């Protein structure tokens, strides 16, 4: 069943329309990849799902985005609440530089206003770091600054930070583009593990990655959704000529 449903959703930067009337159903407990050439609106699309798009100056969204059937752009919906349900990991890992590893993981808990004692906090930190496959590497250095980790570790720290608040959906905006191949493999394994508990949407410019990790793939071109379907089918037998041209490397 569709966890997220985009209904004739358009996104604008000022007068420029970055996305045009997207209709898309994102299934629950699956990985959905969003692919397409640079500037096609991949990042904008996922940023519309947690209302991050509107934090950019002059940016706005038209149409509906339904999360569990409820329009997140409806009147009276608090974007802050939406973002707590829909976590996000960015292209460049950005741990808070003045915070330790454990504080970075726990930072979202404080935002939710949960009164946790030290034991509960430590437990959530450990669980989140384990889920992000980082626990074994950092368990003895939890007090060290988050920025002391390597790039790949920092990205997993950011994933742990996003998971700590128990979101329902995890959006990943090119999470591996700043990482080396080994760290990339770590993150990809992680995505496959996480999909049993979370609905994941991953933006990637790496088609092999989309093929490896995703169950469904959406292909965007020039702000238009060209094709959406089962990943295997998209990569072996696409319906549209543009999709075939893109995945065979004829452009992009």
Sign for the pseudo-dihedral over CA of 97, 185, 205, 132: negative
Q: Is 158 in the site for another protein (CB under 8 A)?
A: yes
Binding track over 87-106 against another protein, x by CB under 8 A: xx-x-x-x-xxxx-------
Q: Check residue 147 for interaction with another protein (CB under 8 A).
A: yes
Q: Tell me how crowded residue 57 is: count the other CB atoms within 10 A of its CB.
A: 7
Which one, 55 or 248, has the nearer CB to another protein? 55
d(CA 200, CA 75): 26
Is the Cβ of residue 98 or residue 236 nearer to another protein in the bound state?
98
User: Could you say whether residue 162 binds another protein (CB under 8 A)?
Assistant: yes
Q: What is the full DSSP assignment across 92-160?
A: S----TTSBHHHHHHHHHHHTT----HHHHHHHHHHHHHHTT-HHHHTT-TTSBGGGS-HHHHHHHHHH
Report the residue number, 87 or 238, with the smaller CB distance to another protein. 87
Identified binder of another protein from the candidate list 108, 152, 223, 238, rule CB under 8 A: 108
The closest of 251, 217, 213 to 236, measured between CA atoms, is 217
Interface characters, 68-87, with another protein (x: CB under 8 A): ------------xx-xx--x
The answer to the question of residue 53 lying near another protein (CB under 8 A) is no
DSSP 37-79: STTSSHHHHHHHHTT-GGGSTTEEEEEEEEETTEETTSTT--H
Q: Smaller CB distance to another protein: residue 103 or 227?
A: 103
Residues that bind another protein (CB under 8 A): 50, 52, 55, 57, 80-81, 83-84, 87-88, 90, 92, 94, 96-99, 107-108, 111-112, 145, 147-148, 158, 161-162, 165
């Amino acid at each position: 069943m569709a966890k997220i449903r985009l209904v004739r959703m358009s996104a604008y930067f000022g007068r420029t329309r970055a996305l045009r009337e997207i209709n898309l159903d994102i299934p629950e407990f699956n990985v959905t990849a969003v692919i397409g050439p640079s500037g096609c609106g991949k990042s904008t699309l996922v940023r519309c799902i947690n209302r991050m798009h509107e934090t950019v100056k002059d940016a706005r969204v038209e149409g509906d985005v339904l999360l569990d059937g409820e329009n997140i752009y409806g009147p009276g919906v608090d974007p802050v609440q939406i973002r707590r349900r829909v976590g996000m990991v960015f292209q460049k890992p950005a741990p808070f530089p003045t915070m330790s590893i454990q504080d970075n993981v726990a930072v979202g808990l404080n935002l939710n206003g949960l009164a946790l004692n030290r034991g509960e906090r430590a437990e959530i930190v450990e669980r989140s770091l384990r889920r992000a496959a980082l626990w074994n590497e950092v368990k003895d250095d939890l007090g060290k600054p988050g920025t002391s980790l390597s790039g790949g570790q920092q990205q997993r720290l950011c994933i742990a930070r996003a998971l700590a608040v128990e979101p329902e959906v995890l959006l990943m905006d090119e999470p591996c583009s700043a990482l080396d191949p080994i760290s990339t493999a770590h993150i990809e394994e992680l995505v496959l593990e996480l999909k049993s508990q979370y609905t994941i949407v991953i933006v990637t410019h790496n088609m092999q990655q989309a093929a490896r990790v995703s169950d469904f793939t959406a292909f965007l071109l020039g702000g238009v959704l060209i094709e959406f379907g089962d990943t295997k089918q998209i990569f072996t037998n696409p319906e549209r000529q543009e999709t075939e041209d893109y995945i065979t490397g004829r452009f992009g």
